[in-house]
Amino acid sequence: MGQENNYILEVKDLHTSFFTDTGEVQAVNGISFNLEAGKTLGIVGESGSGKSVTAYSIMQILAETGRITGGEVRFHGEDITKWNKKQMQKFRGAKCSIIFQDPMTSLNPVFTIGSQLTEAILLHTDNNKKQAKERAIEMLTLVGVNEPESRMKQHPHELSGGMRQRVMIAMALACEPDILIADEPTTALDVTIQAQILELMQDLQKKLGMTIIMVTHDLGVIASMCDEILVMYGGRVCERGTADAIFYHPAHEYTKGLLRSIPKADNMNEKLIPIGGTPINLLQMPEGCAFCPRCDAAMKICLKEKPQEFRVGETHIASCWMNIKELYEAQEGERV
Amino acid sequence: MSENEKYLLKVEHLKQYFPVRRGFKTIPLKAVDDISFSVKPGETLGLVGESGCGKTTVGRTLLRLYQPTAGRIVFDGDVLFDSGEQYDENGKVVLGADGKPVIGNKVDVNMLPYRKQMQMVFQDPYSSLNPRMTVEDIIGEPLDVHKLYRSRDERREKILGLMELVGLNAEHAMRYAHEFSGGQRQRIGIARALAVNPKFIVCDEPVSALDVSIQAQVVNMFEELQEKLGVAYLFIAHDLLVVHHISDRIAVMYLGKMMELADADELNENPIHPYTLSLLSAVPIPDPETARKSKRIVLEGDVPSPLNMPTGCPFRTRCRYATEQCAKEMPQLTDRGNGHFVACFNK
């Protein structure tokens, strides 16, 4: 990882905590990844795994109680966690923008679509009002909103969920950001509308050459969209690698379990193999591996020590002791 | 569909309209419009469709949580509801000499005794459990209503048995719902439905609010309970992969109408209706290889408003094969062999 690389975004050992009445919650606990320009990175995990908080930390739009407590987020080599408010404001929207999960609540209900769209454009570009309006209409056409002129005067409640999500995408893309973060962009939508939105995002990526970070819990969406995948559990990265590596050669017990537990074409008439137990409570993190309490293959070392990163392929990294199981067993003898 | 086969539940020409006020006028919102299907004992019928297509309304109307607008519901040989209209072989209402539909026997039974046989599991495990009641009382409530015990001890014994059945720790009987995780709450909801030993359960999106890793646990439990107790499910969900996995047969709905009904594997391998085709192709497959190869059939536009339904087939506004005939009349569900029913003129 030298300085002369074409990574657009480098995240190094990122820590984010929320300081609540019951104590410090380490929502993101040492996350690292690099992202090449023009690629799509998928972050998967269940609720509470820290995938959204990772995205919010990059944008620095955490809730009041949340704070980045360590690590670096480098954008074109510059550490943006050290930037001040003004620099961040320029970064957000112009360089990196975000689409939120719920298109029903992320638009302001009392302003028209037009005023919300032009606000973003006026803020980040030198365009005057007229140019901004033209740009907004251009963006709405680009994302496939029909009759963009009349839509500009409508309020969010007059639009369907799919249309609202398109407006959100138009808003996010209006200033041609380098990075688009999509936080569960299709979870609230029906499958047919989801297909439209995913198709649209892929099209726009080809046209504009954006880098996309896709945050989702849906392995299907990940499989069809992403080049690289980051699997998260309990605020830590379990595994990261190319889509093919993760789906066909998973090297972490959590990833394996996750893939076993979803219905697929080849297990329709068999029983699903669920992951036992319940999702982790971030206030009571175990000493060793976060997934250990639910892991069938857990060994003694998993209870005691946080697994280090093992390189299982050229670009494939997994944090699971199972990767040195033989070695470990030879040393220690029995399993738990 | 041979008439000799034994059905647990048979629904014929079910309609459920809701009055909606628009200014001075009251117009009907046709949530469910002329739907017929049946459920065999011990089978799972999956019901899929986009939000707003009326799948939840079907489930609730079956259980008579709503008063049906028209149609006939037969459960286990007993007619629960019949609005009295007669239908000919083509599915048209039989009209009398005065041009009005002939009305036969009307039936509208008291549902209380039937609630012991038909139950429901709700979508949201957070809002469907009373936060002021302990788990013991939540599961015990149906037993109280139907007076299914002779002594306090018997009640407690039954409740603990049910908790064990759905995989809950019996020591937690005195806890409140908020002390449980989503998956465990859904188990409480299922135990409550099973308390009266029903033959039929409507499961309204029971796993969609759960995390991926927990979903499989609950899906497996539904399957195991069916094997053990022989209960039949109407499994309503929008996740087609989960529905395919759990169901014996699947029905596809669009805007209050049934488009296709077939065996689960048959429907997935051999879909006929253009809507089913695009619905299935829109499902993201969790496999990068297949995802790269497959082509999504992207539907144009949105679902029309059910207040302003297209004439004829409701899907024609988004259908590639739509013809003039589609605008004139709604195609009937016809058998294309092996119990594969499709409502389409052109396919």
Inter-chain touch B211–A261, beta carbons under 8 Å:
no
Q: Does B277 touch chain A (CB under 8 A)?
A: no
Token pair in block for residue B199? 């033959």
Q: Are A205 and A173 in contact (CB under 8 A)?
A: no
Q: How far apart are CA A261 and CA B237, in angstroms?
A: 18
Please list every residue in chain A whose beta carbon sits closer than 8 Å to the beta carbon of residue B242: 263
Please list every residue in chain A whose beta carbon sits closer than 8 Å to the beta carbon of residue B219: 263, 272, 274
Q: Which residues span the domain enclosing B320?
A: 3-117+238-342
Q: Does B76 touch chain A (CB under 8 A)?
A: no
**pLDDT at residue B300 greater than cutoff 80:** no
Please list every residue in chain A whose beta carbon sits closer than 8 Å to the beta carbon of residue B240: 191
Model confidence pLDDT, tens digit, residues B173-193: 999 998 888 889 999 999 999
Element (H, E) at B70: strand B70-75
CA distance B43 to chain A (A): 14
The DSSP output letter for A276 is -
Model confidence pLDDT, tens digit, residues B99-126: 788 888 888 989 999 999 999 999 888 8
Which of A192, A219, A262 should one mutate to test binding to chain B, selecting the residue with the greatest count of B CBs within 10 A? A192
**From the list B50, B242, B298, which residue is nearest A196 (CB)?**
B298
Please list every residue in chain B whose beta carbon sits closer than 8 Å to the beta carbon of residue A160: 302-303
**pLDDT at residue A336 greater than cutoff 80:** no
pLDDT at residue number A333: 55
- The region of weakest confidence among A159-173, A220-234, A238-252, B314-328 is A159-173
Q: Which residue bears the tokens 């690099």?
A: A34
Inter-chain touch B302–A163, beta carbons under 8 Å:
yes
pLDDT at residue number A54: 94
Element (H, E) at B71: strand B70-75
Greatest extent of chain B over all pairs of C-alpha atoms, in Å: 67
Element (H, E) at B142: helix B135-145
Distant-in-sequence, close-in-space partners of B215: CB < 8 Å, separation ≥ 6: A261, A262, A274, B207, B242
Q: Is residue B16 part of a domain?
A: yes
**From the list A162, A163, A274, which residue is nearest B216 (CB)?**
A274
Inter-chain touch B50–A192, beta carbons under 8 Å:
yes
Q: How far apart are CA A163 and CA A178, in angstroms?
A: 23
Q: How far apart are CA B268 and CA B276, in angstroms?
A: 9
Dihedral (CA of B279, B285, B290, B292) sign: positive
Which of A104, A163, A224 should one mutate to test binding to chain B, selecting the residue with the greatest count of B CBs within 10 A? A224
Q: Are A163 and A145 in contact (CB under 8 A)?
A: yes
- Cα A298 to Cα A99, A307, B88, distances in angstroms: 38, 12, 65
Inter-chain touch A192–B244, beta carbons under 8 Å:
no
Q: Are A263 and B241 in contact (CB under 8 A)?
A: yes
CATH of the domain at B65: 3.40.50.300
**From the list A192, A222, A223, which residue is nearest B299 (CB)?**
A192
CA distance B94 to chain A (A): 38
Q: Would you tell me how many other CB atoms lie within 10 Å of the CB of residue B103?
A: 13
Which of B53, B179, B205, B212 should one mutate to test binding to chain A, selecting the residue with the greatest count of A CBs within 10 A? B212
The residue among A76, A72, A70 whose CA lies nearest residue A91 is A76
Token pair in block for residue B344? 């389409």
pLDDT at residue number B4: 46
Residue B270 in 3-state DSSP? coil
Token pair in block for residue A26? 């380490």
Q: Are A75 and A59 in contact (CB under 8 A)?
A: no
Nearest residue on chain A to B305, alpha-carbon basis: A160
Model confidence pLDDT, tens digit, residues B217-229: 999 999 999 999 9
pLDDT at residue number B1: 45
- When pLDDT is cut at 50, 70 and 90, the band that residue B5 belongs to is low
Q: How far apart are CA A295 and CA A215, in angstroms?
A: 24
- When pLDDT is cut at 50, 70 and 90, the band that residue A332 belongs to is low
Inter-chain touch B284–A46, beta carbons under 8 Å:
no
Q: Is residue B151 part of a domain?
A: no
Q: How far apart are CA B37 and CA B92, in angstroms?
A: 16
Q: How far apart are CA B15 and CA B102, in angstroms?
A: 17
**From the list A220, A272, A278, which residue is nearest B216 (CB)?**
A272
Inter-chain touch A47–B211, beta carbons under 8 Å:
yes
**From the list A47, A268, A294, which residue is nearest B245 (CB)?**
A268
Question: What is the pTM (predicted TM-score) of this model?
Answer: 0.86
Please list every residue in chain A whose beta carbon sits closer than 8 Å to the beta carbon of residue B51: 190
Q: Is residue B251 part of a domain?
A: yes
Distant-in-sequence, close-in-space partners of B147: CB < 8 Å, separation ≥ 6: none
**pLDDT at residue B91 greater than cutoff 80:** no
The domain tally of chain B equals: 1
Q: Is residue B68 part of a domain?
A: yes
- The region of weakest confidence among A58-62, B220-224, B296-300 is B296-300
Element (H, E) at B342: strand B341-342
List helix spans (H) across chain A: 51-59, 85-94, 113-124, 129-142, 148-152, 161-173, 191-208, 219-225, 243-248, 253-261, 300-304, 325-332
Dihedral (CA of A197, B300, B270, B34) sign: positive
DSSP assignment of B246-257, as one string?
Answer: H-SEEEEEETTE
Exposure letters A30-69 (e unless 16+ CB within 10 A, then b): bbbbbbeebbbbbbbbbebbbbbbbbbbbbbebeeebbbe
**pLDDT at residue A2 greater than cutoff 70:** no
**pLDDT at residue B212 greater than cutoff 50:** yes
**ipTM of the complex as predicted:** 0.82
Backbone angles phi, psi at A239, to 5 degrees: -155, 145
Percent of chain B with pLDDT over 90: 61
Distant-in-sequence, close-in-space partners of A116: CB < 8 Å, separation ≥ 6: A107, A108, A167, A171
pLDDT at residue number A1: 44
Inter-chain touch B279–A259, beta carbons under 8 Å:
no
Please list every residue in chain A whose beta carbon sits closer than 8 Å to the beta carbon of residue B214: 46, 274, 278-279
What Rg do the C-alpha atoms of chain A give, in angstroms? 21
Q: Can you tell me the mean pLDDT for B294-307?
A: 80
- When pLDDT is cut at 50, 70 and 90, the band that residue A5 belongs to is low
Inter-chain touch A224–B285, beta carbons under 8 Å:
yes
Q: Is residue B211 part of a domain?
A: no
Please list every residue in chain B whose beta carbon sits closer than 8 Å to the beta carbon of residue A191: 50, 238, 240, 279, 282-283
The residue among B180, B193, B103 whose CA lies nearest residue B145 is B193
Inter-chain touch B290–A265, beta carbons under 8 Å:
yes
Q: Can you tell me the mean pLDDT for B200-206?
A: 94
Q: Does B142 touch chain A (CB under 8 A)?
A: no
CA distance B83 to chain A (A): 34
Highest mean pLDDT among A32-41, A326-335, B297-306: A32-41
Nearest residue on chain B to A186, alpha-carbon basis: B284
Q: Can you tell me the mean pLDDT for A162-169?
A: 88
Token pair in block for residue B40? 């065999």
Inter-chain touch A191–B283, beta carbons under 8 Å:
yes
CA distance A324 to chain B (A): 25
Which of B53, B287, B289 should one mutate to test binding to chain A, selecting the residue with the greatest count of A CBs within 10 A? B287
Q: Can you tell me the mean pLDDT for B295-322?
A: 85
Q: Are B341 and B334 in contact (CB under 8 A)?
A: yes
Pairs of residues, one from chain A and one from chain B, whose beta carbons lie less than 8 Å apart: 131
Q: Are B84 and B105 in contact (CB under 8 A)?
A: yes
The residue among B228, B213, B119 whose CA lies nearest residue B166 is B228
Q: Does B61 touch chain A (CB under 8 A)?
A: no
Averaged pLDDT score across all residues of chain B: 90
Please list every residue in chain B whose beta carbon sits closer than 8 Å to the beta carbon of residue A218: 284
Averaged pLDDT score across all residues of chain A: 88
- Cα A58 to Cα A14, A88, B12, B162, B187, distances in angstroms: 9, 10, 56, 47, 38
Q: Which residue bears the tokens 């065996």?
A: B263
Q: Are B340 and B263 in contact (CB under 8 A)?
A: yes
Please list every residue in chain A whose beta carbon sits closer than 8 Å to the beta carbon of residue B183: 278
pLDDT at residue number A123: 86
- When pLDDT is cut at 50, 70 and 90, the band that residue A146 belongs to is confident
**From the list B183, B213, B284, which residue is nearest A223 (CB)?**
B284
Q: Are A65 and A20 in contact (CB under 8 A)?
A: yes
Q: Can you tell me the mean pLDDT for B323-346?
A: 91
Model confidence pLDDT, tens digit, residues A77-98: 899 999 999 999 889 888 999 9
Q: Is residue B15 part of a domain?
A: yes
pLDDT at residue number B175: 92
